[in-house]
Amino acid sequence: MIFKKPLAKLLNTFTDKPISDKTLTVIDIAITVVSMLATIVSIFVGLQFCLVSSLIIALVIFGIISVILGLFVLVSKLITRRVLPFNPYTPWTPVTPPQFVGRQRLLKQLANHLDKDESVSLVGDRRIGKTSVLQTWEQMLIAQERPVIYVSGEGADAGDLALFINKITQQQAPNEPEQAANLLSQWANDVKEKSHYPPLVLVDEAEA
């Protein structure tokens, strides 16, 4: 795409919400079409006024070449959009089934760790799909009737132990760390006794 990257940078300076890839592509194609039309009009006006100087002739030739290249780019874009398969991944919004595809090996590894009562961390760069994996795994565990709690490690209360435990247990946790830990432990035992499975806590955007 000729204008896609500059467009993304320009538009993102005016809005906090990322511009979708589809929107950028539509705008890019529109700019290409408008440029082609402007070039055609320029050629037509030049011929109407019979401007036959060497400079005008050169500009007309350049305009014709621009139109040909523009048509080539436009056709290439349309062909590419028809040939390329749908890409379900988006770097801005987490997805879950049926939009979530692949990562079956990773989900199986997570299940193996769960069967062994092992803790596990998903580590990787931002916007590569960690949240999508967690949310998909949460849905799978719910379908298996496993007790699972999904919480975010971000926000103003992320660094407050009592508030964080409140999120998990839905109970008022004391501010004293040891007492809060005891509450969390008792809650986990209660859940296990009722469901016959230990609760699984999925913490998204966790920071050490």
- Say if residue 144 is in the same domain as residue 192: yes
Q: Pick the residue with more confidence: 151 or 22?
A: 151
Cβ–Cβ < 8 Å for 75, 29: no
Q: Pick the residue with more confidence: 99 or 188?
A: 188
Q: Is residue 130 part of a domain?
A: yes
**What contacts 11, CB < 8 A, 6 or more positions away?**
19, 24
Separation of alpha carbons 201 and 67, rounded Å: 59
Mean pLDDT of 182-190: 92
- Say if residue 109 is in the same domain as residue 196: yes
- Say if residue 136 is in the same domain as residue 189: yes
Query: Where does a domain end: 18, 53, 83?
Result: 83
Tell me which residue range forms the domain holding 112.
Answer: 104-204
Mean pLDDT of 94-102: 61
190: pLDDT strictly greater than 90: yes
> Lowest mean pLDDT: which of 19-23, 107-111, 195-199, 201-205?
19-23
pTM above 0.85, yes or no: no
- Say if residue 130 is in the same domain as residue 72: no
Cα radius of gyration rounded to whole Å, the chain: 28
Q: Is residue 94 part of a domain?
A: no
Cα-flanking dihedrals φ and ψ of residue 151, to 5°? -130, 155
pLDDT of residue 106: 84
pLDDT band at 111 (very low <50, low <70, confident <90, very high): confident
pLDDT of residue 174: 86
Q: How many domains does the chain have?
A: 2
pLDDT of residue 83: 46
Q: Is residue 97 part of a domain?
A: no
Q: What is the DSSP string of 82-130?
A: HHSPP----SSS---TTT----HHHHHHHHHHHHTT--------TTSSH
Cβ–Cβ < 8 Å for 179, 127: no
- Say if residue 129 is in the same domain as residue 193: yes
Separation of alpha carbons 177 and 35, rounded Å: 65
Query: Where does a domain end: 54, 83, 112?
Result: 83
Mean pLDDT of 125-142: 82
pLDDT digit string (tens) for 31-65? Answer: 677 677 766 766 665 555 554 555 566 666 777 77
Q: Is residue 98 part of a domain?
A: no
